[in-house]
């Protein structure tokens, strides 16, 4: 009989790529992970791994079992949730990952309402940026994510269900005294000589900023990088830099100016869950609460005019 724990190790190995990464994710030693994968090969009587020196990669049989293993683990979680249900009342724990600018306007109100409407449902909320949340959802570390499917570096496959939340514009953020701050819309090429602040290298906004600047004919001269948008905004507020941010990330009351881009760019904000044939009451309750969010001025509902 297949062991669920070992199936999860194999699925994580396919997603994360190395035994060390699996071990770090689960707070185990690499030797323990390797030993358990060897046991799984014995249980299945199949060659699941191809070893080259100190590295391993999944064989075709290993890749097949990893994909099927994720399906099995999801079905088991669904069955456990159904057994714990009292009538139709959602109970259990749902792990929600949201990018930074969605936490306060979207995630926190949903979690607050769920605490009143479904007291037996526990929601764990964590910050998870688009380059992090997709892989975490696929490996089972998260159950629901608020992200953007515009992050094309992640393979959004049929194993994931995407629910649109809306769109927000990407805006140029300038010091209030900046000569361009009086304009409603700015051609990004006008900022070729500016000093920039931005997100971490490899993140969604860092890659988007670099791409848009290159399309405008220049490479941004980035003097600082912060994963925290408020730190980026502090750099702008002090007059040391300019930046591009989604409108959701710019709170009111700061000494900055925001300008649209002459060629508008919008971010598609979505809820994503793992697909499954059986309904999961707890996950469905969280998705419904996120969709029933209070009005957010920066967010345009799906299907509404973005202009």
pLDDT per residue rounded down to tens, the chain (307 residues): 788 888 888 888 888 888 888 888 888 888 888 888 888 988 889 999 988 877 888 999 989 998 888 888 888 877 776 666 555 677 788 999 999 999 999 999 999 999 999 988 999 999 999 888 988 898 888 999 999 988 877 888 888 999 999 999 999 999 999 999 999 999 999 999 999 999 999 889 999 999 999 999 999 999 999 999 999 999 999 999 999 999 999 998 899 999 999 999 999 999 999 986 344 788 999 999 999 988 888 898 886 656 5
**What's the pLDDT score for residue 161?**
92
Q: What is the CA radius of gyration of the chain?
A: 22
**What's the pLDDT score for residue 277?**
39
**What's the pLDDT score for residue 278?**
45
**What's the pLDDT score for residue 294?**
85
pTM equals: 0.71
Nearest to 289 by CA among 113, 122, 155, 97: 113
**What's the pLDDT score for residue 198?**
96
């Amino acid at each position: 009989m297949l062991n669920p724990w070992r199936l999860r190790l194999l699925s994580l190995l396919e997603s994360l790529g190395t035994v060390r990464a699996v071990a770090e994710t689960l707070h185990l030693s690499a030797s323990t992970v390797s030993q358990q994968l060897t046991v799984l090969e014995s249980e299945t009587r199949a060659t699941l791994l191809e070893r080259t020196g100190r590295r391993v990669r999944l064989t075709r049989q290993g890749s097949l079992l990893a994909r099927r293993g994720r399906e099995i683990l999801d079905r088991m979680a669904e069955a456990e949730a159904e057994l714990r249900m009292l009538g139709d009342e959602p109970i259990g724990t749902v792990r929600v990952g949201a990018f930074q600018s969605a936490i306060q306007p979207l995630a926190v109100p949903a979690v607050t309402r769920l605490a009143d409407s479904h007291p037996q449902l526990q929601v764990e909320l964590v910050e998870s940026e688009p380059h992090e949340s997709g892989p975490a959802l696929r490996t089972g570390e998260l159950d629901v994510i608020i992200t953007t499917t515009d992050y094309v570096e992640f393979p959004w496959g049929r194993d994931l269900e995407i629910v649109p939340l809306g769109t927000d514009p990407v805006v140029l953020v300038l010091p209030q005294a900046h000569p361009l701050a009086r304009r409603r819309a700015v051609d990004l090429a006008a900022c070729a000589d500016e000093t920039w602040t931005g997100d971490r290298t490899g993140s969604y906004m860092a890659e988007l900023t670099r791409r848009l600047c290159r399309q405008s004919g220049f490479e941004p001269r980035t003097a600082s990088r912060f994963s925290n948008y408020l730190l980026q905004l502090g750099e702008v507020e002090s007059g040391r830099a300019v930046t591009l941010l989604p409108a959701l990330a710019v709170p009111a009351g700061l000494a900055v100016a925001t300008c649209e881009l002459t060629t508008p760019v919008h971010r598609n904000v979505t809820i994503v869950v793992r697909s499954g044939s059986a309904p999961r009451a707890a996950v469905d309750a969280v998705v419904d609460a996120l969709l029933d969010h209070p009005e957010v001025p920066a967010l345009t509902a799906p299907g509404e005019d973005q202009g």
